[in-house]
Amino acid sequence: MVVDKTVLVVGAGPTGLLLSAELCRRGVKCHLIDAEPAPLPWDRATVVHPRSLEIFESLGIIQPLLDAGVKQRVVRIHSAGTLLGEIDLSSCGSRYGFNIGISEELIEAILTEYLHQQGGKVIRSASLVDLEEHVDHLIASVRRNGTIEQLSVRWVVGCDGYHSATRKLARIEMTGHDIAKPWAVFDATLSGWAQSYEGNHAYLDEIPVILTALPQQRWRVYLQPSAPGSDLLVDAASTIRRYRSEIGFEDVTNPCRFHCHSKVATNFRASRILLAGDAAHVCSPSQGHGMNSGLQDAFNLAWKLALVCKGRCAPTLLDSYDVERRPVAEAVVASGDAFEQALGMKIPSERETRNEKLRAVFADPAPRHHEAVAEAELDINYSNSPIVMGDVNESLPPGDRLPDAIPTYLDDMEAPMLHELCNRTGHTALIIGSSSVPVEQLEQLERTIGSHSNTSLIESTSSLASRSDNQGEHKRITPAGASQLGVGGITLLVIRPDGYVGLRADHDHLKALASYQAMLLSG
């Protein structure tokens, strides 16, 4: 039997759930399958970074995440019995100046409920076993309950992890290496702990240990064991008690060992097959970027795939997914490799040199801020993407994320920030004028752009005047906010559904907008 669906998503982890829900929200028929008969009761990932929190906010499901998790406001790095330095996430530049500590199975539960709200569901005990490519569709063979069901789909997205059947069927290779030293993990309560429960603590000692905060004053403890058969609690305690001799591990659950890999797929797209999450890239667990990178893959891909599925843009638009996201994956993998190398230093003189370098980084405000931005995953931009264009401006160039903390009205705490004016599913045109620009000129440009909304990709339009007073009814932005964006006369910003600047036009606004939309439509 052949069932017609637009998109088959393989794998119902966080990446597959988010992608499927976003496609359903945009009216795309989506079939989500997972080989497991039920959601996993426990999983290792635990940190949701600020950029991912912004994504959850845009989906309208940030509050369940905040309610279920614990805020991790600081990251502290230790070695040789001393504190080397710390990262204060309140300085990262996001409206969420903290990570959220929450176990992955709870994230999946929140995303599953969101998927159900969009009319989607997970088909379980279903495994992809074959893909047959045709000119304008694929036939996917899915084994479920001992029988093979055939699905006719236009696109397949593999979100099915490191051992991805989708990737293998697409004949896409992964390059990289296995991480030589295994990791281990367990959950515990720490008796004798006197510090804050809102942080992560890394101990770069002979046996590296990383503590990540969980709700109810629990911790997820990651470590690289001393030997294959060693006692994990003894290993972890031998490091932690160099700093706090009174620390003990209580109520220990879910101890396990695991091997990691440092690899990236050679392509994230092969014709009508795409990869996301661990199917596309895997990295060291030491920095907590794996699950977050997958969520951002899904958020980047969903709006593009929806435009293609609905016939509004050419399929070549999807090439930009590989161009934008694969370099991010490569950077995350390289960063994880560097951290693994730093952890693996055994010669005392090498470790001391490493520690001195880290002390210098944390003592200098500039690199310390850079570390906060990187931890928050806000150092990502798509300036080299083929689908961003416009005037280069050092304050906010095309391909950058629209920054936070830019109020749209003066002296009004209830007024939205600039990002809150952006459409959740489509492109938004923001017209921003300096204090020298008459409001009437902004309104005319807004009307002109809005009058073509039925035939364009722009789903909402707002104009803002830079004013130092509260006079008039027109939307306003503070002069400081306009300056932060580099606005001198009139600037048109087209914000993509993922919050990044697709177009910046400081002049010839309508011509630039027409060129931008033509580029997207043609792919």
User: Nearest-CA neighbor of 307 among 521, 500, 519?
Assistant: 521
- Gyration radius from the chain CA atoms: 24
Asked whether residue 25 is domain-assigned, the answer is yes
Domain that holds residue 208: 183-258
Q: DSSP alpha helices (H): ranges in 26-72?
A: 50-59, 62-68
Secondary structure of residue 248 in the 3-state scheme:
strand
Query: pLDDT confidence of 3, banded at 50, 70, 90?
Result: low
Non-local (6+) Cβ contacts of 433 within 8 A are 439, 441, 442, 463, 464, 465, 466, 482, 487, 489, 490, 491
Residues 203 and 288 in one domain: no
Non-local (6+) Cβ contacts of 387 within 8 A are 317, 320, 502, 519, 520
What pLDDT shows up at residue 413?
A: 57
Asked whether residue 93 is domain-assigned, the answer is no
Asked whether residue 64 is domain-assigned, the answer is no
Residues 487 and 407 in one domain: yes
Asked whether residue 89 is domain-assigned, the answer is no
Amino acid at 263: K
What pLDDT shows up at residue 412?
A: 59
Residues 299 and 246 in one domain: no
Residues 168 and 218 in one domain: no
Instruction: Please state which of the ranges 337-346, 486-495, 504-513 shows the lowest mean pLDDT.
Output: 337-346
CB 407, CB 481: distance < 8 Å: yes
What pLDDT shows up at residue 42?
A: 87
Instruction: Please state which of the ranges 57-61, 82-86, 181-185, 192-196 shows the lowest mean pLDDT.
Output: 192-196
CA angle 89, 92, 95 (to 5 degrees): 95
Among the candidates 236, 258, 280, a domain finishes at 258
Among the candidates 242, 258, 274, a domain finishes at 258
Residues 333 and 466 in one domain: no
Non-local (6+) Cβ contacts of 373 within 8 A are 92, 93, 379
Instruction: Please state which of the ranges 122-131, 154-163, 414-423, 500-509 shows the lowest mean pLDDT.
Output: 414-423
CATH number, position 513: 3.40.30.10
CATH number, position 194: 3.30.70
Residues 272 and 171 in one domain: yes
Q: DSSP alpha helices (H): ranges in 271-347?
A: 290-309, 319-343
CATH number, position 313: 3.50.50.60
pLDDT above 80 for 4 = no
Number of domains in the chain: 3
Residues 159 and 298 in one domain: yes
Residues 479 and 393 in one domain: yes
Asked whether residue 368 is domain-assigned, the answer is no
Give the mean model confidence (pLDDT) for residues 392-418.
83
Region of residue 270 (left: phi > 0; alpha: psi -120 to 50; beta: else) = beta
pTM of the model: 0.95
Residues 276 and 136 in one domain: yes
109 or 451: whose pLDDT is higher? 109
Among the candidates 258, 276, 299, a domain finishes at 258
Give the mean model confidence (pLDDT) for residues 332-359.
93
Residues 393 and 476 in one domain: yes
Query: pLDDT confidence of 43, banded at 50, 70, 90?
Result: confident
Asked whether residue 96 is domain-assigned, the answer is no
Asked whether residue 357 is domain-assigned, the answer is no
Asked whether residue 370 is domain-assigned, the answer is no
Secondary structure of residue 334 in the 3-state scheme:
helix
Query: pLDDT confidence of 44, banded at 50, 70, 90?
Result: confident
pLDDT above 70 for 2 = no
Residues 499 and 477 in one domain: yes
Residues 144 and 197 in one domain: no
pLDDT tens readout for residues 354-372: 999 999 999 999 999 999 9
Region of residue 515 (left: phi > 0; alpha: psi -120 to 50; beta: else) = alpha
194 or 98: whose pLDDT is higher? 98
Q: How far apart are CA 415 and CA 163, in angstroms?
A: 47
pLDDT tens readout for residues 242-253: 999 999 999 999
Phi then psi dihedrals of residue 461, to 5 deg: -135, 135
Burial 313-322 (b: 16+ CB within 10 A, else e): bebebbbbbb
Query: pLDDT confidence of 450, banded at 50, 70, 90?
Result: confident
Q: DSSP letters along 100-165, please? A: EE--HHHHHHHHHHHHHHTT--EEESEEEEEEEE-SS-EEEEEEETTEEEEEEEEEEEE---TT-H
Give the mean model confidence (pLDDT) for residues 371-397.
96
Query: pLDDT confidence of 133, banded at 50, 70, 90?
Result: very high
pLDDT above 90 for 288 = no
pLDDT tens readout for residues 24-33: 999 999 999 9
What pLDDT shows up at residue 471?
A: 60
Q: DSSP alpha helices (H): ranges in 164-258?
A: 165-169, 232-240
Q: Average per-residue pLDDT in the chain?
A: 94
- Residues above pLDDT 70, as percent of the chain: 97
